[in-house]
Amino acid sequence: MATDLRLKASLPALTDRIVSTYEECGGINHLGHSPLPSYREIVEILADLREILYPGYGRRQNLHLGNVGYHVGDLIDGLHDRLTLQIARALRHDCKAIDLETDFEAEAQIRAIRLLDALPELRTTLSDDVRAAYEGDPAAKNLDEILFCYPGVSAVTVFRIAHVLWKLQVPLIPRMMTEYAHSKTGIDIHPGATIGRRFFIDHGTGVVIGETTEIGDGVKIYQGVTLGALSFPRDEATGEILRNVKRHPTIEDDVVLYANATVLGGLTVIGHHSVIGSSAWITRSVEPFTTVTIENPRLKYRGTSPGGHDILESFDYQI
């Protein structure tokens, strides 16, 4: 098919029209400023951190106690430099002051070292999470299957890394990490959430966990669960959304939330050892050792008998 040169000649004018919007709509472009963190580099950093946290399950095979130290040491050395660079970019971009003589690289190095220093403890916590997945799912054959195949474990791994950076007050990068996990797993966990040990997300697609959520130990949730905000409080004077208040629920120890359950509100507390049934909508606190289910609906079956007569049956659906 021949190219119409007259149509192609219009492209420079189109380019000018697009570029003119960069000044008109300045909030959605980043021009003339210091570099932002690289999304591609953050993803690569996550891959290297996973190599350290779960050696032998990633890009490098044939690891053993005789050579794993060299492998991890090489990764740690590279991560120090790469994390320092990306964190420095995030700190510099987030700084609103003018002419502030801050050594962003020095500040970034401190935070990078603290993240790397947290890896041994992260390994212990993630080991509990993986074990909880194995003990909580009878379909799991072994821990290898969980580490290779379970999206909940992948999402929680990224969350726990991002949460360390969140607590270190590293801007932007924690959200980049958890949104990458969200895109890969369908599980949306804000890095500011607080999540205890032995946490298991089964299946996982559609799970949402908000920024100020607090989750205790031994909690298990299924696909479609939302731990969200009931409303957004606003400043009385300005009308702006208040961003540093607790908006999301507290889930105490050993709670199970079944598929599509929704729990909303910063004052909502689900007491320990409670069970929240499928599709329940919770906006007030629940006492410990409570089971919450929705009222049983009725199922209706409509069909035709072999003799041509209509058949209509209804049954209570037991949840």
Q: Quick one: three-class SS letters along 18-79?
A: HHHHHHHCHHHCCCCCCCCCCHHHHHHHHHHHHHHHCCCCCCCCCCCCCCHHHHHHHHHHHH
Q: How far apart are CA 168 and CA 278, in angstroms?
A: 36
Fold of 193-319: UDP N-Acetylglucosamine Acyltransferase; domain 1 (2.160.10)
Predicted TM-score (pTM) of the model is 0.87
Query: Which pLDDT value is given to residue 244?
Result: 78
Query: Which pLDDT value is given to residue 4?
Result: 77
Q: How far apart are CA 254 and CA 216, in angstroms?
A: 7
What's the token pair of residue 240?
């702006």
Query: Which pLDDT value is given to residue 62?
Result: 86
pLDDT beneath 70: ranges in the chain: 1-2, 26, 96-101, 233, 235-236, 239, 304-319
Q: How far apart are CA 108 and CA 246, in angstroms?
A: 28
**DSSP structural state of residue 240:** P
CB 281 within 8 A of CB 275: no
CB 190 within 8 A of CB 228: no
Query: Which pLDDT value is given to residue 98?
Result: 44
Query: Which pLDDT value is given to residue 97?
Result: 44
Evaluated on CA atoms 98, 99, 104, 106, the torsion sign reads: negative
Query: Which pLDDT value is given to residue 73?
Result: 95
Query: Which pLDDT value is given to residue 256?
Result: 98
Beta-carbon contacts of residue 147 (< 8 Å; ≥ 6 apart): 54, 57, 130, 153
Please tell me the CATH code under which domain 29-187 is placed. Answer: 1.10.3130.10
Query: Which pLDDT value is given to residue 238?
Result: 73
Q: Domain segments of the chain: what residues?
A: 29-187, 193-319
Number of H helices, E strands in the chain: 9, 16
